[in-house]
Each structure stands twice: as structure tokens, then as C-alpha cells.
Amino acid sequence: MDILSLSHISKRFGRLPVIKDLSFSVPEHSVFGFIGKNGSGKTTTMKMILGFLSMDGGEIKVCGEKVVYGSSKTNRFIGYLPDVPQFYPYMTPKEYLALCGKVAGLSAERTAKRSQELLTLVGLDGIDRRIRGFSRGMNQRLGIAQALLSEPKLLICDEPTSALDPIGRKEILDILAVAKTSTTILFSTHILSDVERVCDNIGVLDEGVLKLEGNLNDIKNSYRQDTALISLADPGRNQELMEGLSQLSIIKGCTEKERDVVVRFTGTEAARRQILELLLSRNLPLVRFELLEPTLENLFLEVVQ
């Protein structure tokens, strides 16, 4: 079942087209990595999903119900974490979640129970001081708790880790990995390593156009190029190795990267054997020969450039 579906969405600001014929869907209990450079249209898309911006064309559905601009009806299915969540600074986390529960129409008993569960999940249980003294990471964690309070079917996160240090990013990603067992997540970011860690499916948005979309592992396999990292005992002979490799018909290209040589070749066992035979024939002592996996960063750069 698809929790979120977008069909042929378009959006202009004046004469400037921002979103162009955008279509994708997000299956239940998955994490969809919505990737793009700053200014690619990610935030505009999320605002249309939330009904905050009108569409010039197309249709968005959340849990099978059509999103209507200016109506909050479908937002009962959605929890939203903006890139910079805002709180009442004079409240404690429990006081703030109690207020959110009241606004959402939850009973006091249900709110208290959910607040306890969520504050434990995000590592803020027992924190009884004012929000004004919270770090950026603590604010993000409280924002996730608030977004999950009503047990949404869809959690939308807009750049949740962009301003955090490595420890803060890890904490947020660990929370999202747990949260996906009970909800579906749309995760907007430009930090590709975060996507590789938590996302099942991805969509690459570039200048309002979805350039790539699908299961992350399937996409990596479809873009796979046989690439190896070769480390010689004497890196001073890297140029000699590259000259020899360039004479082999199975070689697509090779470059020197720091003290190693990265080589792309036609992917057969015979090709790898030819490379190793070249090393032996030239008496080039080998320290490491490693087949490299395709990275999301390489795929992203290939798609958007």
C-alpha cells in the first residue's frame, strides 16, 4: 500500500517553473530519501504535500485521500519535522507535548502515555528544564517526538540532520530507524551518507525534475561499474601501472587517487585476471586489490551533471 503518491505535479512561482511533472510514491513502512541540491524544489514539494502551497497541476494523495490546498484534512495522517523546529522556550518538553496533544484532540491520558514513550525514544526522558536552553540536536529530537505524538501514518522530515554535528546526526538517524517500524518516512536531505544509512527508496530531484527514483539497492546495481582500487607497495610506480593498464582493451579508464590507482574495467573474471597478470609481468608488488561498490554520491553526481 502506498501511503503517499504524487502524480504529475507542477508548480510555478510567477513565470519560473519550480516543479515539473513530478510523480513518485512512498510504500508503507519505508523510508523515502528525497534528495536534491539546495533550491531543487524539495521544500516546495513538501509544502504542497502538507496543503500549504497550491499546485498548478497534478494530484497528491495521502493514505488514499486527495490533498486540497488550504485544507488540513489529510494532515491528520501526517507528522511534520521542519528543518528548524520552533517551540515555546519557557516550556519543558513534557509541557510542550501536553499542549500539542491538547491541540491534536488527544485525551490527557493518551498524551501522557505517548509523551513518556516518545521522550524515552528520543533520549529526553527525565529532562525537566526549559526548552530555551536546548542544543540544536535536542531541539531536533523534541521535534521528532512532537511529530510522532499523534501516531501519524506519514512522517515528513525536512533536512533533519543538516545543521548537526556527526554525533547529533547519528542520534537522529538512529531514532528514524526505530520510528520506521511504526510509520512511513519521507526524508528530505542533501547529505547522501545519511540517505544510504536509513533509506529504502530514493528520488533524486534536480531543478524540479525527478531524475532518478526507485529502490536504493536496485539503483546501485543498475549503475554498477566494475571498479577496483589498486594499492602498490611502491606508489611511485603508479604511473607505470597506469601506462600498462591503458594498453589493455578491457580498461575503461584509470586515475590516481592519493597513493592508489582506481581502475574501471569490463566486468569479467578474465578482465580481473589480465590486470593481475600485468602486475606480475611488470613486477609491481601488490598491497591491495579491492573491488569497489558504487556510492550514492557518484550516482548523484552522474545524474545531476
Q: In the chain, where are the structural domains located?
A: 2-221, 223-304
Homologous superfamily of domain range 223-304: YebC, transcriptional regulation domain (3.30.70.980)
Angle CA 126–131–135, to nearest 5: 90
Q: By the 8 A CB rule, do 28 and 2 touch?
A: yes
Cβ proximity of 119 and 93 under 8 Å: yes
Burial class (CB in 10 A: 0-12, 13-18, 19+), 278: middle
**Tens digit of pLDDT at every position of the chain (305 positions):** 899 999 999 999 999 999 999 999 999 999 999 999 888 999 999 999 999 999 999 999 999 999 999 888 999 999 999 988 999 999 999 999 999 999 999 999 999 999 999 999 999 998 999 999 999 999 999 999 999 999 999 999 999 888 888 898 999 999 999 999 999 999 998 888 899 999 999 999 999 999 999 999 888 877 767 888 999 999 999 999 999 999 988 888 888 888 999 888 877 788 888 999 999 999 999 999 988 877 788 788 777 76
* Residue appearing with cell numbers 501516531: 151
Shared fold status for 2-221 and 223-304: no
Distances (CA, A) of 197 to 33, 76, 93, 163, 293: 10, 29, 28, 18, 15
Cα–Cα–Cα angle for 141, 151, 153, rounded to 5 degrees: 105
Classify domain 2-221 by CATH architecture: 3-Layer(aba) Sandwich (3.40)
What 8-state DSSP symbol labels residue 253? Answer: E
4 closest CA partner among 16, 18, 22: 22
Overall pTM > 0.75 = yes
Query: Which of 107, 94, 176, 191 has the alpha carbon at shortest distance from 140?
Result: 176
* Cβ atoms 282, 241 nearer than 8 A: yes
